Structure 1
Amino acid sequence: MSDAQQRIDDLVKTNDLVLFMKGNASFPMCGFSGRAIQILKAVGVDTRTLKTVNVLEDDGIRQGIKEYSNWPTIPQLYVKGEFVGGSDIMMEMYESGELQQVLGGSNPA
Structure 2
Amino acid sequence: MSIRRSTSLQCENHSPDFEQETPSATKERIDALVKGNPVLLFMKGNKLFPQCGFSNTAVQILTTYNIDFETVDVLSDEAIRQGVKDYSQWPTIPQLYVAGEFVGGCDIMIEEYQNGNLAETIEKAKADMM
Q: Same fold (TM over 0.5)?
A: yes
TM-score (norm 2): 0.77
8 Å contact 1:23–1:29 — kept in the other structure? Answer: yes
Supply the distance in 1 between the matched residues of 2:89 and 2:96 (Cα, whole angstroms).
Answer: 13
Matched residue type, 2:95: Q
Q: Who wins on radius of gyration, i.e. which is larger?
A: 2
Partner of 2:38: 16
Supply the distance in 1 between the matched residues of 2:35 and 2:125 (Cα, whole angstroms).
Answer: 14
How far off its partner does 1:25 sit? 0.3
Structure 2 residue ranges without an equivalent (≥5): 1-22
Give the secondary-structure state (helix, strand or coil) at the position aligned to 1:84.
strand
Asked if residue 89 in structure 1 is aligned to residue 111 in structure 2, the reply is: no
Counting aligned pairs with the same residue, the percent is 55
How far off its partner does 1:66 sit? 0.3
Task: Indicate the structure whose relative CO is greater, using CA pairs within 8 Å and at least 6 residues apart.
Answer: 1
Map 1:1-109 → 2, pairs under 5 A:
2-45=24-67, 49-107=68-126
Displaced runs of 4 or more, over 3 A: none
The number of residues matched between the two structures is 105
Structure 1 residue ranges without an equivalent (≥5): none
